[in-house]
Amino acid sequence: MKLDGSYYKKVLDNLYDGIYLLDDDRRIIYWNSGAEEHTGHKRADVLHLKCHEVLMHVDDKGMSLCNDACPVSQTIEDNNLREVDVYLQHRDGHRVPVSMRIAPIKDSNNQVAVAVEIFGDGSPKYTLRQRLEEMKGLALLDPLSELGNRRFLEMNIRGRLEEMDRYKWPFGILFIDIDHFKHINDTYGHDAGDNVIRMVSKTMSFSLRSFDIIGRWGGEEFVVIVVNVEEEQLHSVGDRLRLLVEQSGIGIDSDTVNVTVSIGATICRPGDTAETILKRADTLMYRSKQSGRNCISMDRKQEPQLQP
């Protein structure tokens, strides 16, 4: 059986994985249905644009990969296969983690092009969807952010406290607040503020491990429960969320609105209750506000003093 190009195109269009092709100038020449699903960008809107005009990849430190560190440019230059984990920018503004395989191919004129495949396994999408359905049934869902609500968070913190008492499993809390949120509401309106909350919610929830918990505490405040973690790891998780939110952006009217977050981070201590650990994390978040915002404040263990 002879297969023509239209057959292969049909196969690629029906894959869940996102696949797009670039020419040697990094312009998009093919964009399948999976790429539409992962990014929110329709094929007709992105063809012939350069990839950095659409996806704006960053690494887990929030650093742009679209210039000197571009893995696509490196593959075009050295003709080597690459696999990288990155965060692309969804059409709705939030960041989405993806695993990419970048493979050099040649067209009929022997010119190098690049095939970029976005693996769906790079995102905790299925776990999040399952958790969402469970929370809906138990009235534990915040409808705006589609995260757990305050009751959901309090239940989970109490569960983690019981585990720590019984099994000595450590966990930490991140208390997160969107900076200058009142200014956004006053300038663009409350609908725009709601869209910013959705953007920040998705960026953070997609960037956590599947067994960590995030919920909306109220207003523009969020709480993250990070399990089986020590101080440095908790700080690293919080700082990654901060950087990825900073690199997200949403179109409002003719402006692109970027926001930052202030974070308080603390590890649960013996004798803590849900109330004491949340109050401590909240206080640390306000310390970040006072320190200029867009930063993370954390209480550290006191080093033992040497006796003279």
Using alpha carbons only, give the angle 119, 125, 130 rounded to the nearest 5 degrees.
145
pLDDT tens profile 14-64: 777 888 888 878 888 888 888 888 888 998 999 989 888 888 888 888 888
Per-residue pLDDT band for 131 (boundaries 50, 70, 90) equals low
Please give the pLDDT value at position 76: 80
The catalytically annotated residue of 36, 117, 220, 246 is 220
Under 8 Å CB-to-CB from 11, ≥6 apart: which residues? none
pLDDT tens profile 78-92: 888 888 888 888 889
What is the percent of the chain where pLDDT is above 70?
A: 83
pLDDT tens profile 150-207: 988 998 999 999 989 888 889 999 999 999 999 999 999 999 999 999 999 999 998 8
Asked whether the predicted pLDDT for residue 1 surpasses 50, the reply is: no
Please give the pLDDT value at position 307: 44
Please give the pLDDT value at position 6: 67
With 0-12 / 13-18 / 19 or more C-beta atoms within 10 angstroms meaning exposed / middle / buried, residue 279 is: middle
Asked whether the predicted pLDDT for residue 305 surpasses 50, the reply is: no
Please give the pLDDT value at position 304: 40
- Across the range 62-72, mean pLDDT stands at 83
CB-CB contact of 179 with 285 (8 Å): no
Please give the pLDDT value at position 120: 57
Please give the pLDDT value at position 227: 93
Please give the pLDDT value at position 303: 41
pLDDT tens profile 226-238: 999 999 999 999 9
Please give the pLDDT value at position 212: 92
Please give the pLDDT value at position 62: 83
Mind spelling out the 3-state secondary structure of the chain? Answer: CCCCHHHHHHHHHCCCCEEEEECCCCEEEEECHHHHHHHCCCHHHHCCCEHHHHCCCECCCCCECCCCCCHHHHHHHHCCCEEEEEEEECCCCCEEEEEEEEEEEECCCCCEEEEEEEEHHHCCHHHHHHHHHHHHHCCCEECCCCEECHHHHHHHHHHHHHHHHHHCCCEEEEEEEECCHHHHHHHHCHHHHHHHHHHHHHHHHHCCCCCCEEEEEECCEEEEEEECCCHHHHHHHHHHHHHHHHCCCEEECCEEECCCEEEEEEECCCCCCHHHHHHHHHHHHHHHHHCCCCCEEECCCCCCCCCC
Q: For residues 140 and 135, what is the distance between their CA atoms, to the nearest angstrom?
A: 5
Q: What's the token pair of residue 39?
A: 């990014």
pLDDT tens profile 132-166: 556 555 677 898 998 989 988 998 999 999 989 88
Q: What's the token pair of residue 103?
A: 């493979």
- Across the range 205-212, mean pLDDT stands at 87
Q: What's the token pair of residue 305?
A: 């003093």
Could you give the domains of the chain?
A: 5-122 (3.30.450.20), 125-298 (3.30.70.270)
Asked whether the predicted pLDDT for residue 288 surpasses 70, the reply is: yes
What is the percent of the chain where pLDDT is above 90?
A: 43
Residue 220 annotated in active site:
yes
Please give the pLDDT value at position 109: 65
| Pairing mode, strands 221-227 and 141-142 | unpaired
- Across the range 259-277, mean pLDDT stands at 96
Q: For residues 197 and 71, what is the distance between their CA atoms, to the nearest angstrom?
A: 31
